[in-house]
């Protein structure tokens, strides 16, 4: 019994290896369905609505890709720990899941250039503080999260006094208590916070983001047709301002990166 | 009637009550109510903190209840399927453990010990990342979704534990049963299926139910590998509600309550059956 099970397992593994085919574009067209990995816990880029569907900016981008290909769309919620494996296994055809551009990631999957989006470092500032430029900080206390790579750079470059706390809840609490003029953190996180009524009233993100960290769409190694197609699609998005439209649709301030890319490619 | 006036011989014998060697903590219905109450109170406190424009934690739970409960049903489904699969294979493994052929016994022993002593999460990872997401059988592509992999992952430890339960139950049947059966010219197979196993059933039932309870509670481990079960959904719901820290306790408390409400009656029933089936010598 056990031996039979083991043999069956072995056979499945062997067959599974065979099933990973070479041309994902052809597979997508044959089955009439594009499978895209997106986040389901990153508001507003990918999150659940009460019906259980995954919605947000990235699911909308995925829907656009499926429409261009003339196929149906299936979204697979991924987490950071499994997204690259899913792509390599062929479980998903395309990965649009808030993935930062890192050399070690580029070594195992194919990144689509130019990056479709970019996170950066920004400040969730109290409206009272009246910040209009980074220079306004001028030694003011700035709440931050311990261990963020940019804390020191910002402190030096913009002359701010960093008050660091661990996690993201404690600095936010300190900000609410008025211990600092703003909270220095990832811009996408701040954008998410500003979707809530609790924060919208007294806080804002008045500055341009600094220290951009691009996000990449990825396809599996060797899928050149898919890669070329996605590069063209990304250029189209930048040309017609799709990403800016989606940012506005989901209630966040369009990022400097999106606006700049749109400006650059508008005429082309 | 004054007991002092009763003749000593009429007094019922005083039985020393057996005290367990350590204090036993038993969950009772009021414990469940206490948990529920804590959740409600925590939610109430959170309401006081949040602004008037925000949905109260109870409101948030109500809003997401259908999604969260569908996740819970998924947990139950995984646990039931893993239990079924694990029991069938485990039964075979347990019978192999009492086989008369030495190599069969050894194989069963090795498999049982290996899977019984491996962390469940590791087995789950093993199933998740080593089993392909689809395979081709005679030209037909058979998809192998995450939940099937989770079922396989959980059925491995179930299999090993059921194997031990079966082996233990068979061994606990007095030798006299085997000897009498032999005297009545039953073959070994007949003895096993017609005499031994029917007697084992009621001995196996309580530990088996106990195991089921454990499997059900372990299914939330699947959230670690990205299966969309209740705990995964709970954290996604928390994110969708803007990650407000005051929602953490009510949301996870709700998940806790669901599992408690499901597992507690199983626990009570197990205890009753244990009591009823107690081996009387």
State residue B13's pLDDT score.
Answer: 60
Across A11-20, A147-156, B128-137, least confident range: A11-20
* Alpha-helical regions (H) of A32-168: 57-69, 83-89, 103-106, 151-157
How many A/B residue pairs have CB atoms within 8 Å? 98
Domain limits for position A236: 2-116+216-266
Q: Is the pLDDT of residue A15 over 60?
A: no
- Determine the Cα–Cα distance for residues B265 and B278; give it in Å rounded to an integer: 20
What is the average pLDDT across A250-254? 85
Q: Do A82 and B226 touch (CB under 8 A)?
A: yes
Residues A105, A220: one domain? yes
State residue B19's pLDDT score.
Answer: 62
Residues A126, A195: one domain? yes
ipTM: 0.73
**pLDDT classification of A17: cutoffs 50, 70, 90:** very low
What is the average pLDDT across B76-85? 95
State residue B84's pLDDT score.
Answer: 96
B155 and chain A: CB distance < 8 Å anywhere? no
Across B12-16, B83-87, B146-150, B216-220, least confident range: B12-16
Closest of B219, B270, B264 to residue B76, by C-alpha: B219
Closest of A36, A39, A37, A65 to residue A231, by C-alpha: A65
Burial label, A77 (beta-carbon count in 10 A; 0-12, 13-18, 19+): buried
Q: Which residue of B has its CA nearest to A92?
A: B133
Residue B198 CB partners (closer than 8 Å, separation 6+): none
Instruction: Calculate the average pLDDT of chain A.
Output: 84
Bridge partner residues of B143 (DSSP):
B134
CA distance B83 to chain A (A): 17
Report how many domains make up chain A: 2
A107 and chain B: CB distance < 8 Å anywhere? no
Helix (H, G, I), strand (E, B) or coil at B100: coil
Residues A129, A96: one domain? no
CA distance A161 to chain B (A): 27
A34 and chain B: CB distance < 8 Å anywhere? no
State residue B45's pLDDT score.
Answer: 57
Q: What angle do CA B58, A170, A102 make, to 5 degrees?
A: 100
Q: Is the pLDDT of residue A18 over 50?
A: no
Beta strands A46-48; A33-39: pairing state: unpaired
Q: Is the pLDDT of residue B52 over 60?
A: no
Residues A111, A243: one domain? yes
Tell me which of A107 and A201 has the higher pLDDT: A107
- Determine the Cα–Cα distance for residues B247 and A198; give it in Å rounded to an integer: 14
B199 and chain A: CB distance < 8 Å anywhere? no
Instruction: Calculate the average pLDDT of chain B.
Output: 84
Main-chain dihedrals φ then ψ at residue B148, nearest 5 degrees: -65, -40
The rounded percent of chain A whose pLDDT value lies above 70 is 91
Q: Is the pLDDT of residue B26 over 80?
A: no
Q: What is the pLDDT of residues B212-263, one digit of tens each?
A: 999 999 999 988 777 888 999 998 898 888 777 788 889 999 999 999 999 9
Helix (H, G, I), strand (E, B) or coil at A247: helix
Of the candidate CATH numbers 3.40.30.10, 3.40.50.1100, 3.40.50.2020, 1.10.3720.10, the domain formed by B56-133+143-274 belongs to: 1.10.3720.10
The residue with tokens 């250039």 is A113
Sequence ranges of the domains in chain B: 56-133+143-274
- Determine the Cα–Cα distance for residues B61 and B63; give it in Å rounded to an integer: 5
Contact list, B50 vs chain A (CB under 8 Å): 198
* Segment (H or E) for B254: helix B248-276
- Determine the Cα–Cα distance for residues A116 and A244; give it in Å rounded to an integer: 11
Contact list, A49 vs chain B (CB under 8 Å): 240
Across A82-96, A141-155, A227-241, least confident range: A141-155
């Amino acid at each position: 019994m056990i031996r039979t099970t083991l043999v069956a397992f072995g056979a499945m593994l062997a067959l599974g290896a065979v099933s990973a085919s070479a041309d994902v574009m052809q597979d997508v067209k044959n089955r009439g369905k594009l499978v895209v990995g997106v986040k389901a816990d990153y508001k507003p880029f990918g999150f659940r609505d009460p019906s259980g569907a995954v919605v947000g900016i990235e699911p909308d981008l995925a829907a656009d890709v499926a429409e261009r290909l003339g196929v149906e769309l299936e979204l697979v919620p991924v987490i950071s720990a499994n997204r690259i494996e899913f792509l390599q296994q062929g479980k998903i055809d395309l990965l649009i899941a808030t993935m930062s551009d890192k050399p070690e990631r580029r070594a195992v999957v194919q990144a689509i250039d130019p990056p479709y989006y970019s996170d950066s470092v920004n400040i969730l500032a109290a409206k009272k503080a009246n910040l209009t430029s980074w220079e306004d900080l001028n030694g003011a206390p700035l709440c931050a999260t311990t261990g963020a790579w940019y804390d020191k750079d910002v402190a030096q470059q913009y002359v701010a006094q960093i008050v660091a706390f661990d996690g993201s809840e404690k600095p936010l609490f300190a900000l609410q208590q008025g211990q600092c003029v703003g909270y220095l953190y990832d811009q996408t996180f701040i954008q998410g916070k500003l979707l809530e009524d609790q924060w919208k009233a007294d806080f804002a993100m008045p500055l341009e983001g600094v220290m951009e960290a691009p996000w990449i769409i990825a396809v599996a190694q060797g899928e050149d047709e898919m890669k070329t197609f996605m590069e063209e699609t990304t250029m189209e998005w930048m040309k017609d301002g799709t990403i800016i439209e989606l940012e506005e649709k989901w209630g966040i301030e369009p990022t400097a990166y999106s606006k700049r890319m749109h400006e650059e490619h508008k005429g082309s | 009637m004054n007991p002092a006036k009763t003749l000593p011989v009429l007094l019922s014998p005083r039985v020393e009550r057996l005290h367990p060697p350590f204090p036993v903590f038993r969950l009772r219905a009021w414990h469940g109510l206490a948990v529920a109450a804590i959740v409600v109170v925590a939610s109430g406190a959170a309401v006081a903190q949040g602004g008037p424009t925000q949905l109260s934690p109870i409101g948030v739970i109500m809003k997401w209840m259908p999604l969260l409960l569908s996740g819970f049903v998924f947990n139950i489904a995984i646990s039931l399927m893993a239990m079924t699969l694990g029991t069938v294979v485990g039964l075979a493994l347990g019978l192999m453990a009492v086989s008369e052929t030495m190599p069969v016994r050894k194989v069963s022993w090795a498999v049982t010990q290996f899977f019984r002593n491996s962390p469940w999460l590791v087995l789950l990872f093993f199933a998740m990342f080593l089993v392909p997401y689809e395979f081709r059988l005679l030209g037909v592509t058979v998809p192998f979704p995450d939940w099937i992999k989770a079922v396989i992952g959980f059925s491995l430890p179930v299999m090993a534990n059921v194997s031990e339960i079966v082996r233990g139950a068979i061994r606990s049947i007095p030798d006299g049963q085997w000897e009498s059966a032999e005297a009545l010219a039953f073959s070994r197979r007949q003895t096993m299926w017609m005499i031994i196993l029917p007697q084992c059933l009621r001995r196996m039932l309580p530990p088996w139910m106990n195991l089921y309870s454990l499997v059900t509670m372990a299914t939330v481990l699947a959230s670690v590998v990205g299966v969309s079960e209740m705990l995964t959904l709970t954290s996604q719901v928390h994110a969708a509600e803007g990650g407000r820290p005051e929602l953490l306790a009510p949301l996870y408390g709700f998940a806790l309550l669901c599992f408690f409400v499901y597992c507690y009656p199983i626990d009570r029933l197990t205890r009753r059956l244990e009591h009823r089936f107690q081996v009387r010598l």
